[in-house]
């Protein structure tokens, strides 16, 4: 796979080196499973083999995920009627949310700009159904060069899986920390929902650098369109183990329906208000 990867800001890795690093990471993640001293907690990936993906790499990843999912044994619940109702609700709900939240989002965006004079909005490539890439929007909670500095902080990963989380990420601004705890930074994703990139309820869209390390079973969470919230977001979010996270997403995919979506929407509101698992 062609991908642009920068190592120690000195040179670009060749395609063979990218492949070798990719295989080494899978070996480390799949076999070593290191633990934190005295806690017995699994550590997640601390050295992602590919950090930057160009358009060709994203296309190849999309094709690879799509092909892998054709062999999945998981069958998404819900027929065409459900899909139509779900999309109609997404359009109405996201349009109403953006109308109501336009002023609050504008005020927060101004606060972010005043804080460091940088663009208050942040976009990042994520993957949705069948591995299709799209730009997901957020209110910026990190410094302007956060993506370039990821290579410096990836070894501080505190999760047990492929996603990156760190309680002491130096890239997070003081205001950004507050916005994250209140989940305010996620509000611009209603725009993604209105566009059709995401749904109100569905598995959270992962990053390409995470998906390239997915096993076929973990790719099952990409069988449906990604969403603002799903089962794991209502049961602890950052506190949930990665395997449990995937298990929750697959459970949703197998049982999804209007009643479950409504239930998860109410539980999401409760989780946000109680700041359950927010970091």
* Residue 127 belongs to a domain: yes
* Residue 240 belongs to a domain: yes
What is the reported pLDDT for 71?
96
* Residue 230 belongs to a domain: yes
Structure confidence by residue, pLDDT tens digits, 150-183? 988 888 887 777 888 888 899 999 999 999 999 9
Residues 194 and 46: beta-carbon distance below 8 Å:
no
Residue 2, CA distances (Å) to 5, 32, 52 in order? 9, 27, 10
* Sign of torsion over alpha carbons 37, 43, 49, 55: negative
* Residue 211 belongs to a domain: yes
* pLDDT over threshold 60, residue 200: yes
What is the reported pLDDT for 276?
67
Q: Distance (Å, rounded) from C-alpha 113 to C-alpha 134?
A: 25
* pLDDT over threshold 90, residue 21: no
Number of residues that this document lists for the chain: 279
CB atoms within 10 A of CB 107: 9
* Residue 64 belongs to a domain: yes
Tell me how many domains the chain contains: 1
The band of 190, judged by pLDDT with boundaries at 50, 70 and 90, is very high
The residue behind tokens 């130096």 is: 170
Structure confidence by residue, pLDDT tens digits, 238-258? 667 888 899 999 999 999 999
* Residue 27 belongs to a domain: no
DSSP string, the chain: -----EETTTEEPPHHHHHHHHHHHHHIIIII--B-TTT-PBP--SS-S-----HHHHHHHHHHHHHHHTT--------HHHHHHHHHHHHHHHHHHHHHHHHHHHHHHHHHHHHHSS-SEEEEEEE-GGG-EEEEEEE--B-TTTTTTHHHHGGG--SSSSS---TT-TTB-HHHHHHHHTTGGGTTHHHHHHHTS-EEESPPPPPHHHHTT--TTGGGGGSS--EEE-TGGGTTGGGS-HHHHHHHHHHHHHH--HHHHHHHHHHHHHHHHTTTT--
* Residue 26 belongs to a domain: no
* Residue 10 belongs to a domain: no
The band of 277, judged by pLDDT with boundaries at 50, 70 and 90, is low
What is the reported pLDDT for 10?
40
What is the reported pLDDT for 4?
43
Structural domain boundaries enclosing 73: 56-273
CA-wise closest residue to 129 among 204, 224, 58? 224
Structure confidence by residue, pLDDT tens digits, 27-80? 444 443 433 333 444 557 878 887 889 999 999 999 999 999 999 999 999 999
What percent of the chain lies above the pLDDT cut of 70?
Answer: 82
* pLDDT over threshold 60, residue 117: yes
Q: Burial of 202 by CB count in 10 Å (0-12 exposed, 13-18 middle, 19+ buried)?
A: buried
């Amino acid at each position: 796979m062609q991908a642009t990867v920068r190592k120690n800001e000195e040179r670009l890795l060749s395609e063979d080196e990218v492949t070798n690093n990719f295989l080494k990471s899978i070996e480390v993640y799949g076999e070593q499973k290191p633990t934190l001293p005295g806690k017995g907690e699994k550590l997640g990936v601390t050295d992602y083999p590919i950090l930057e993906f160009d358009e060709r790499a994203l296309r190849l990843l999309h094709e690879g995920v799509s092909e892998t999912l054709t062999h999945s044994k998981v069958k998404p619940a819900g027929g065409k009627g459900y899909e139509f109702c779900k999309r109609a609700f997404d359009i109405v709900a996201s349009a109403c949310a953006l109308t109501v939240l336009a002023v609050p989002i504008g005020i927060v965006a101004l606060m972010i700009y005043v804080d460091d004079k940088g663009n208050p909005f942040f976009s990042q490539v994520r993957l949705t159904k069948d591995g299709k890439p799209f730009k997901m929007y957020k209110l910026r909670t990190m410094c302007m060069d956060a993506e370039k500095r990821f290579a410096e902080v990836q070894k501080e990963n505190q999760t047990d899986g492929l996603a990156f989380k760190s309680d002491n990420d130096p890239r997070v601004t003081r205001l950004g920390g507050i916005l994250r705890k209140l989940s305010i930074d996620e509000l611009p994703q209603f725009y993604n929902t209105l566009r059709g990139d995401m749904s109100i309820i569905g598995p959270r869209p992962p990053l390409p650098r995470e998906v390239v390390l997915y096993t076929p079973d973990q790719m099952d969470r990409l069988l449906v369109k990604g969403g603002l919230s799903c089962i794991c977001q209502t049961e602890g979010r950052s506190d949930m183990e990665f395997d449990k996270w995937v298990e929750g997403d697959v459970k949703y995919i197998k049982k999804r329906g209007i009643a479950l979506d409504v239930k998860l929407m109410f539980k999401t509101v409760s989780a946000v208000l109680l700041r359950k698992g927010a970091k």
